[in-house]
Structure formats: structure tokens, C-alpha cells
Structure 1
Amino acid sequence: MKRLSVLLAGSALAVSANAVNWSKVSESPTGTIFSVDLNSIESSDISVIDKKPMDNITVSIRRTYPTQKNSAQKNDGKDGAATKETKAIKDKASQDTTLHHSDQQLLISCKDASYYKRAYVDYGADDKVIKSWQSEKPILTTKDFVVTTPKTIGRLIVDQACKSYQDGQKSV
């Protein structure tokens, strides 16, 4: 079952990767870049069971992390016992576990600027999948959504997705 959810998470995000239109939303002080795939924004048919009706949209976002310094490179020349071979193994292990970017699929409520993370896939060097996850919740309520705080990157992402969706609705 776990393999199936990993496959579904990967395929859900991979479908949107075929015709992507990444729009940079923000960059954090640490250098992480947050982008929204404008082509992935669409109305969602996922029901949220609650007293108040909610219209939701789905969107794919990407977090691209700054290049991280390799710990083996930092110790270069300091550990005389280490051979070139062991340094190469350390470099390879570091590349396999260092995040390059993370693609996430969100369910967004524009009404109250909130979101629910449906799935994510973390990638390392050469787009190698490091980790993936998909929500297994069959029924959602508004309590499952995270309300974003004004003037944060999360709110900027929600606002950008909602604005793009509304602009797309006007042109149809």
C-alpha cells in the first residue's frame, strides 16, 4: 500500500511536470526559491465535509534549495587519513541525500487563504527522488487546512495561485 501511495504521489506531481509554467513567487533570506506552476492551477472536485461550503483549487508548487556546501569538501586536507576513495564515497552519499528541490501539490481555499498539502516529492541531484509522501485522508474538513498568515511566503503562494485561477476564469 505504501508503494502505491508513493507511486500515486509521484505520478500526480509528474503529470503537472510535463507542461509546467513555473512563476517565481518569492525567495527566502536563506536563498530558497518558491515557485508556482501556473499550468497546474485548476478547480478541485475534492469534497471538504463541513458546515460551510468551500470551493477549492489544486496547485503544484516548487521549493528550490540553495546549493549546499559538501562536508567532505569542508574537511579537505584536514583529515590526512582520508583517501581520495573515501572522499569520493562521502561526496556521493552527500549528493544522494542533499535536497535540490521539492515539488508539492496543495489544495487551496481562496475564501480563507488556507491550504492542505496533498503530496510532495523531494528531489536530490539529477532529479533523483529522495522521499515522497501522499495524504491518505479520504475525507477532509476545514480543520485539516492551514490558514496562512499575512505577509508570509505561504500567503504569497496562496494569493498568487488564487489570483492566477481567478484571472483564468475571467478569460474563459
Structure 2
Amino acid sequence: MKRLAVILAGSTLALSAHAVNWSKVSDSQTGSTFSLDLDSIESSDINIIDEKSVENITVSIRRTYPTQKSVTKNIAKGVKKESKEADIHHSDQQWLISCKDASYYRRAYVNYAADDKVIKSWQSEQPILTTKDFKITTPKTISRLLVEQSCKNYEQTK
């Protein structure tokens, strides 16, 4: 059952990647670029059990990592092997956002290598959400920018 959930998460994000309208939101100090898919922003039918009157939206977010440098590592018996410091090229995530308090809940993600090979995927198995499951964003952070931009775009297309 867990494999099925991972496959569904991957296929959901992969399907959304075909009809995308990525809009760059910000660059981080570490060199990552954060974008959101304007075509993925929509009202969510997922109810938050302790706050039913709040409208939530879903959005696909992409984090593109800076190009990794090759490093030489010493492995067993003195043999040297060249490898990447980190294999992730980009990560696509699906967030459930509450515009009311600028918070989000990460529903799924898929990490990709540079050749678009899936490295790792995950999907939340939590059947019922409460406001405590959401992470409130801090002002002047990338996550707050992503939430604010998503909410702004949702309101404009409503």
C-alpha cells in the first residue's frame, strides 16, 4: 500500500509537470531557485477538521538546486571514486496552503536527478488534517514568498 501511495504521489507531480507554467519566485542564499506552477494553483476540497470555514488551495512548487561540483572520495582499499556531492537536481512538491494565516502543509514531493530520474518520492498518508499540521511561515522568508505569491495568483484568477 505504501508503494502505491508513492507511485500516486510521483504520478500526480509528474502529470502536473507536463502542463506547467513555472514562475520564478526567489533565489536562496545557497543558490537554489524556487518557482511555482501558476497552472497548478486551485481551490482544494480537503477539509481541515478544526477550521472548516477556511478555503485552502493547492500548488506545485519546484526547488532547483545549484549545479553540484564533482568531488573525489577515497573509498575502500585506497581506490578513488569521483561522485557528486548531492544527487538532487530539482524537487517538485505539492503544498496545501491556508492563505488566512500564511501557512502550508507539504502533501507530497518527488526529488529528481539531472536526467529527470526519480531519486526519492513521498506522499503524506495522513487522512485527517488539523491546523496544527500546517507550518506557519515566517515573514521575509522564501516559504512566505511562495505562500503569498500562490495566494495572490489564486485571488487574481478566482
How high is the TM-score relative to the length of structure 1? 0.85
User: What's the CA shift string for 1:1-23, capped at 9, x where partnerless?
Assistant: 12101101101111211110000
SS at match of 1:71: strand
Matched, 1:111 2:100: yes
Moved over 4 A (4+): none
Give the structure 1 partner of residue 37 of structure 2. 37
Structure 1: which 5+ residue stretches go unaligned?
A: 76-80
Give the structure 1 partner of residue 61 of structure 2. 61
Give the structure 2 partner of residue 78 of structure 1. none
Structure 2: which 5+ residue stretches go unaligned?
A: none
SS at match of 1:61: strand
User: What's the CA shift string for 1:54-110, capped at 9, x where partnerless?
Assistant: 1100000000000111112x88xxxxx75xxx64xx44xx48x61100000000000
Q: Residue 52 of structure 1: CA displacement?
A: 5.6
Q: Residue 125 of structure 1: CA displacement?
A: 2.1
SS at match of 1:127: coil
Alignment root-mean-square deviation, CA: 1.8
Structure with the higher helix share, 1 or 2: 1
Give the structure 2 partner of residue 155 of structure 1. 144
Distance of 1:45 and 1:52 partners within structure 2: 11
Give the structure 2 partner of residue 22 of structure 1. 22
Distance of 1:129 and 1:37 partners within structure 2: 19
